[in-house]
């Protein structure tokens, strides 16, 4: 979580706040709100925003990964379930799930 808190890029999901419970059994993470995952969109489950052209979607995913690589980090679990679709206009792809970074 410490590494994720330090990430600041338009194509990386933002970790806004972390709170441990008093008994330390649970940790609450407050993350940036998104419309859904790339898996949802490809499976037609999402009625969310219209995605940009495929080339731009791929560029944004690669751009986010390039940013974390520039910070000497590796994602370890890149898949459509871990690519989120922003609620902003224009729509942006956000890489997520930094549990194994």
Is 77 catalytic? The answer is yes
Exactly one of 40, 77, 81, 97 is catalytic; which is it?
Answer: 77
Q: Does residue 78 come out as left (phi exceeding 0), alpha (psi in the -120 to 50 range) or beta?
A: beta
Which tokens go with 88? 């902003």
Question: Please, how many CA atoms are within 13 Å of residue 39, restricted to the half-sphere of its CB?
Answer: 7
Catalytic residues: 77
């Amino acid at each position: 979580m410490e590494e994720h808190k330090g990430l600041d890029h338009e194509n990386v999901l933002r970790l806004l706040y972390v709170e441990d419970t008093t008994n330390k059994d649970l940790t609450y993470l407050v993350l940036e709100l998104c419309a859904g995952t790339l898996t949802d969109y490809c499976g037609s489950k999402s009625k969310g925003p219209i995605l940009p052209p495929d080339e731009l979607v791929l560029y944004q995913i690669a751009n986010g990964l390039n940013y974390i690589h520039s910070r000497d980090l590796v994602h370890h679990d890149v898949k459509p379930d871990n690519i989120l679709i922003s609620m902003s206009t224009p729509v942006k792809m956000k890489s997520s799930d930094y549990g194994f970074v």
